[in-house]
Amino acid sequence: MDTFALIVTIGVALGFTYTNGFHDSANAIATSVSTRALTPRAALAMAAVMNLAGAFLGSGVAKTVSEGLIATPHGDKGMGILFAALVGAIVWNLVTWYFGLPSSSSHALFGGMVGAALAGGTEVIWSGVLEKVVIPMFISPFVGLLLGYLVMVVILWMFRKANPHKAKRGFRIAQTVSAAGMALGHGLQDAQKTMGIVVMALVIADVEGQGDAIPMWVKIACALTLSLGTYAGGWRIMRTLGRRIIELDPPQGFAAETTAASVMYTASFMFHAPISTTHVITSAIMGVGSTKGSRAVRWGVAKNIVMGWFITMPAAALVAAACYWVVLLAFG
């Protein structure tokens, strides 16, 4: 196996992780920044540290990505498939970042994997794609929407007699905890997705065996790169999540973050499902906002975001397939 191809593929995987970090940093901190619970730089620093910590909490999601979506390809062809899958995901991340659309980096990666695998003639494990990607893609936003609404209803009832100014001040403090929990869940989910890709590259190169434990250097490299990307920030997407869907106050921000973090922990530890942090926090914000009435949520913006969810996988798949054919023409 060409060592250079392995190094390039791992480098591109880390590049994807970096774009994932600055693309999805808004997921963890947009609500706490928009409610002024945290300053942007303090929120980014906190999110970077918690992303780093979350990456070491498990490996179930990484195993799903490395073994449960496509059959492990072999040889130079296999490395080309992984390279194309990553390029497809990176391109889609950059496009959606430019337009400020909080699409899912996770589904960009999964779409890239499926598109490159189909172009390269590698088996796609459709049952795994359906059970671990497609079904959670539809279920997790509905769960986030419903739980966000219910959590906010409970908060409104519990604090119905409280002084509004004191309550908001208390929730600003509480948001530092909920935002940290959200960032920890983001690290738990998204760092592991790249770990799964790097492990697959190592298996293709015969450096690791199928089913081996994730090497510590892979965990550290993916976690650090995600944290660096997170600290770089994603200001365009942060404005969409924090202001354009609904004007959040501290209790709403706390409810949305708590809901999203709970869903991510459940998906990671119970189901090993690589869900989208973007889908979950966005739907939680919508659910929380709907307690003020349907007009409180800017559903036009929400509709555009949801449309982005549905086109992410096929768009990334097409880019990845095109990239694979380019690699094939260039290197045979």
Rounded to 5 degrees, φ, ψ at 39 are: -75, 155
Tell me what pLDDT residue 20 has. Answer: 85
Residues forming a β-bridge with 70? 124
Where exactly are the structural domains of the chain?
Answer: 3-331
In single-letter form, the type of residue at position 26 comes to A
Q: 10 Å Cβ neighbour count for 201? A: 28
Q: How many CA atoms lie within 13 A of 26 on its CB side?
A: 24
Token pair of 325, please?
């054919």
CB 308 within 8 Å of CB 107: no
Tell me what pLDDT residue 25 has. Answer: 65
Distance CA 132, CA 110 (A): 10
Mean pLDDT for the chain overall = 86
Rounded to 5 degrees, φ, ψ at 259 are: -60, -50
Q: Is the pLDDT of residue 112 over 80?
A: yes
Tell me what pLDDT residue 149 has. Answer: 95
DSSP 8-class letter at 56: T
CB 319 within 8 Å of CB 91: yes
Distance CA 110, CA 70 (A): 10
> What secondary structure does DSSP assign to 269-303, as a single string?
III-----HHHHHHHHHHHHHGGG-GGGS-HHHHH
Mind listing the pLDDT tens digit for each residue in 152-174? 999 999 999 889 888 988 998 99
Token pair of 154, please?
């409970």
pTM: 0.88
